[in-house]
């Protein structure tokens, strides 16, 4: 089922219409403790949400767990049926976990996503991937199941701090790299905020760039909804990036998803340069932007064996062989690429020392 992605200029009116398209007996609204404080006040007086039962879970990716999922199921049992409707108001953690909870409760109820972070607008809430972390691994358990609607309203972007804005922007940069040079160049020029001050960010222009970014993802997802082929293009930076996230989780330090993906893109663009001919000038420009925007990920060569082990758990792999999405150039996508242990370690060296 193709989900409806709506760019909102009147959130109450658009949400009311989206709910009306989903006949239901009970309405549930999922938030985390941060979106309860910052985003729920924007919608809580909407008439269409007057009867909604609000479910609150912990924030950050550390709470994207079986325990949080179980709590949501228990709350859904308070009057929920297979004809109920859930609205996920939050970032990628909320839309991932909430989508999975809705997809599995009573064998599946309808749900609507209202992403509130840049990351969830351009990535997590679009495309039907749902799930939780499990056994120390990112998104290990989940299903493909699209929401009925995704409502994008840039009003929520003003609630973000610099780090969360930058985190989402990494996925936009990825979309630029897999699309065309014009989009890639525009993304490198955009000012995310000098010295981490987002008060000067042009949110109107950012909203237009979000629409472009979402359209790139939608086009790829429509072509390959369950990631058998070209949808793997969206995993650029993620094979290494997810390993960085898992390493950080094991070491009890929080790394935002987009930061890990940005650092992963540095490694995978290096592999692209040595294996599939990605131009070194484009590599240099992209790496410079990433280092200026995202700083450095602290790790040493002693952690290389663990990082390689974590990469072997990536869901794109076949028979234990680490699978990468690489680029021959901007928009020249090469899926199902492999690299030797030495090449991967060189890419990690390039990130640490380059």
Q: Which of 64, 138, 174, 231 is catalytic?
A: 231
Q: Assess whether 316 carries a catalytic annotation.
A: no
353 is catalytic: no
Contacts of 7 (CB under 8 A, 6+ apart): 152, 207, 211
Q: In the annotation, is 140 catalytic?
A: no
- From the list 217, 232, 275, 282, the catalytic residue is 217
235 catalytic per annotation: yes
231: annotated active-site residue: yes
**Catalytic annotation, pick one of 64, 174, 238, 282:** 238
Which residue among the candidates 235, 245, 275, 282 is catalytic per the annotation? 235
What is the SS3 assignment for 120? helix
Based on the residue annotation, tell me whether 83 is a catalytic residue of this protein: no
Catalytic residue among 75, 227, 245, 268: 227
Cα–Cα distance, 240 to 246 (Å, whole number): 10
**107 counts as catalytic:** yes
Q: What is the C-alpha separation between 89 and 100, in angstroms, rounded?
A: 14
Catalytic residue among 171, 245, 268, 334: 171
Task: Work out the number of other CB atoms within 10 angstroms of the CB of residue 192.
Answer: 18
- Bridge partners (DSSP) of residue 54 are 29
Catalytic hit among 64, 129, 232, 334: 129
The secondary element (H helix, E strand) that includes residue 113 is strand 110-115
Nearest to 94 by CA among 77, 119, 127: 119
Whether 228 is catalytic? no
From the list 138, 232, 242, 334, the catalytic residue is: 242
Residue 130 to residues 43, 87, 226, 247, Cα–Cα distance (Å): 24, 14, 12, 22
Closest CA to 47 of 19, 22, 23, 5: 19
Question: Looking at 64, 257, 275, 282, which residue is catalytic?
Answer: 257
Catalytic residue among 47, 107, 228, 253: 107
Give me the DSSP letters along 47-71: GGGTTPEEEEE--SGGG-SHHHHHH
Active site residue 171: yes
Q: Is 242 a catalytic residue?
A: yes
Which residues are annotated as catalytic? 107, 129, 171, 217, 227, 231, 235, 238, 242, 257
């Amino acid at each position: 089922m193709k989900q409806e992605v709506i760019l909102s200029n009147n959130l109450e009116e658009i949400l009311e219409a989206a709910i009306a398209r989903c006949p239901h007996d009970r309405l549930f609204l999922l938030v985390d403790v941060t979106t309860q404080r910052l985003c729920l006040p924007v919608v809580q007086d909407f008439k269409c949400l007057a009867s909604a039962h609000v479910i609150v879970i912990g924030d950050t990716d550390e709470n994207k767990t079986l325990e949080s999922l179980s709590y949501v199921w228990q709350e859904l049992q308070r009057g929920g049926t297979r004809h109920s409707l859930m609205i996920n108001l939050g970032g990628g953690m909320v839309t991932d976990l909430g989508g999975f909870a809705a997809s599995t409760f009573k064998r599946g109820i309808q749900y609507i996503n209202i992403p509130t972070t840049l990351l969830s607008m351009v990535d997590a809430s679009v495309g039907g991937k749902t799930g939780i972390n499990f056994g120390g691994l990112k998104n290990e358990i989940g299903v493909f199941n699209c929401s009925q609607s995704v409502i994008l309203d840039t009003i929520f972007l003003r609630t973000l701090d610099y780090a969360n804005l930058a985190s989402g922007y990494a996925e936009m940069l990825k979309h630029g790299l897999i699309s065309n040079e014009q989009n890639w160049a525009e993304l490198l020029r955009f000012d995310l905020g000098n010295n981490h001050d987002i008060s000067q960010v042009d949110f109107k222009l950012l909203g237009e760039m979000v629409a472009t970014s979402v359209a790139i993802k939608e086009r790829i997802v429509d072509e390959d909804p369950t990631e058998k082929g070209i949808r793997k293009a969206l995993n650029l930076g993620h094979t290494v990036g997810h390993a960085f996230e898992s390493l950080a989780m094991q070491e009890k330090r929080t790394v935002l998803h987009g930061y890990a993906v940005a650092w992963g893109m540095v490694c995978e663009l290096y592999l692209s340069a040595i294996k599939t001919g990605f131009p070194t000038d484009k590599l240099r420009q992209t790496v410079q932007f990433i280092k200026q925007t995202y700083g450095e990920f602290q790790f040493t060569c002693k952690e290389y064996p663990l990082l390689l082990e974590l990469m072997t758990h990536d869901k794109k792999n076949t028979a234990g062989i680490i699978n990468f999405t690489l680029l021959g150039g901007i928009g020249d996508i090469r899926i199902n690429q492999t690299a030797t242990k030495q090449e991967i370690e060189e890419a990690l060296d390039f990130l640490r020392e380059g």
